[in-house]
Amino acid sequence: MKLSKVLYRQHIGFMFKKHWLIQGKRVPIDTGLEESLKAKGIPVEDALEFVKEKQEPRERFEIIGPHEHIKPLDENHPDYKQRPCLTLKHTSVLLEGISQAQVLTKTIIAEDKLPHRIEELAEVSAPKAIHEGVKKAILSANVFDCEQKKLPKIKESERPAFNFPRILGISDRRRNEILTNKLLQLVEKSNDVEVTQNKYVVNEVECHSVFDKEGDLIQFQDVSGILVTSNKPLKHELSESDIPFIEIPDLYPVKHTVTLPPEHFYDENSKYPLRPSVSKKHPHTTWLHFNRTEVGNLYETPVTPTQILGRSLTHAFTVASAYAKQLHGEDVKDLPEPIHINCIQTDGQRFHFGVFELNTLNVDGTDGTKNVWYCKNDVKLYDSSRYLSGMPVLENYNPNVYGYINAFYNC
Amino acid sequence: MALNRLFASLTLSAAPSVIGRKTVQVTAVRYASMPKPVKPKPGFGISYRRTVHFPEEYTVKPLEVTNLAGRDPVSGRLVAKGIGGGIKHKYHWIAWVRDGPTEGPPQEEKVIQVLECGCRTAHVALVAVGDKLKYILATENMKAGDIIKTSRHLPRIPVRANEGDAYVLGALPLGTIVHCIEKEPGTGGLYIHAAGTYGTILRRQNDRIVVQMPSKRLFSFDEHCMAVVGRLSNVDHGDTPIGSPQRNRWLGNRPRSGLWKRKDGRHGRKIRPPKPVKEIHARKKSPLPAIVLNMTP
- Residue B143 has, within 13 A of its CA and on its CB side, a CA count of 1
Using a cut of 0.95, tell me whether the model's pTM lies above it: no
d(CA B156, CA B154): 7
Residue B129: pLDDT above 90?
yes
- Residue A101 has, within 13 A of its CA and on its CB side, a CA count of 25
Quick one: closest CA in B to A160, which residue? B87
Q: Of the candidates A23, A27, A298, which has its C-beta nearest B60's C-beta? A: A298
User: In A70-127, which residue ranges form alpha helices assigned H by DSSP?
Assistant: 98-105, 116-123
String of DSSP letters for B28-95 = HHHHHSPPPPP-PPSBTTB--SEEE---SS--SSPBPEEE-TTB-TTT--B-STTB--S---PBP-B-
User: How confident is residue B3, by pLDDT bands cut at 50, 70 and 90?
Assistant: low
User: In chain B, which residue ranges form alpha helices assigned H by DSSP?
Assistant: 2-8, 21-32, 245-250
Residue B2: pLDDT above 60?
no
**Bond prior to A253 in cis (omega within 30° of 0):** yes
d(CA A257, CA A103): 10
d(CA A47, CA A49): 5
d(CA A118, CA A403): 9
Q: Give the model's pLDDT for residue B11.
A: 58
Q: Which residues of chain A lie closer than 8 angstroms to B288, CB-CB? A: 27-28, 30
A44–chain B Cβ distance below 8 A for any pair:
no
B19–chain A Cβ distance below 8 A for any pair:
no
Q: Give the model's pLDDT for residue B209.
A: 95
**Cβ atoms < 10 Å from Cβ of B134:** 19
Measure B39 CA to nearest chain A CA, in Å: 13
- Residue A372 has, within 13 A of its CA and on its CB side, a CA count of 20
Q: Give the model's pLDDT for residue A180.
A: 95
Residue B16: pLDDT above 70?
no
Spell out the residues 6+ positions from residue B281 whose beta carbon is closer than 8 angstroms to its own.
B222
d(CA B17, CA B3): 18
Q: Compute, in degrees rounded to 10, the torsion defined by CA atoms B42, B45, B46, B47.
A: 90
Angle at A406 between CA A400 and CA A410, to 5 degrees: 145
Q: Do A257 and B131 touch (CB under 8 A)?
A: yes
Which of A4-8, A329-333, B88-92, B164-168 comes out lowest in average pLDDT?
Answer: A4-8
Structural element, H or E, at residue A186: helix A172-189
Give the pLDDT of chain A (411 residues) as one tens digit per residue.
Answer: 788 888 888 888 888 888 888 888 899 898 989 889 999 999 999 888 899 998 889 898 888 788 888 888 888 898 899 999 999 999 999 999 999 999 999 999 998 888 889 999 999 999 999 999 999 999 999 999 999 999 999 999 888 888 999 999 999 999 999 999 999 999 999 998 888 899 999 999 999 999 999 888 999 999 999 999 999 999 888 766 778 888 999 988 999 999 999 999 999 999 999 999 998 999 999 999 999 999 999 999 999 999 999 999 999 999 999 999 999 998 888 999 999 999 999 999 999 999 999 999 999 888 889 999 999 999 999 999 999 999 999 999 999 999 999 999 998
What's the whole-number average pLDDT of chain B? Answer: 87
A161–chain B Cβ distance below 8 A for any pair:
yes
Q: Of the candidates B108, B131, B250, which has its C-beta nearest A161's C-beta? A: B250
Residue B89: pLDDT above 90?
yes
A108–chain B Cβ distance below 8 A for any pair:
no
Mutate which: A30, A36, A91, A95, vs B, most B CBs within 10 A: A95
d(CA A46, CA A50): 6
Q: Give the model's pLDDT for residue B13.
A: 52
Residue B30: pLDDT above 60?
no
d(CA A169, CA A161): 23
Angle at B160 between CA B156 and CA B162, to 5 degrees: 140
Mutate which: A299, A303, A306, A307, vs B, most B CBs within 10 A: A299
Residue B87: pLDDT above 60?
yes
A304–chain B Cβ distance below 8 A for any pair:
no
How many residues in chain B?
297
Higher pLDDT, B177 or A62: B177
Quick one: closest CA in B to A260, which residue? B131
d(CA A236, CA A239): 10
**Cβ atoms < 10 Å from Cβ of B125:** 26
Assembly ipTM: 0.85
Residue B163: pLDDT above 70?
yes
Q: Which residues of chain B lie closer than 8 angstroms to A161, CB-CB? A: 87, 250
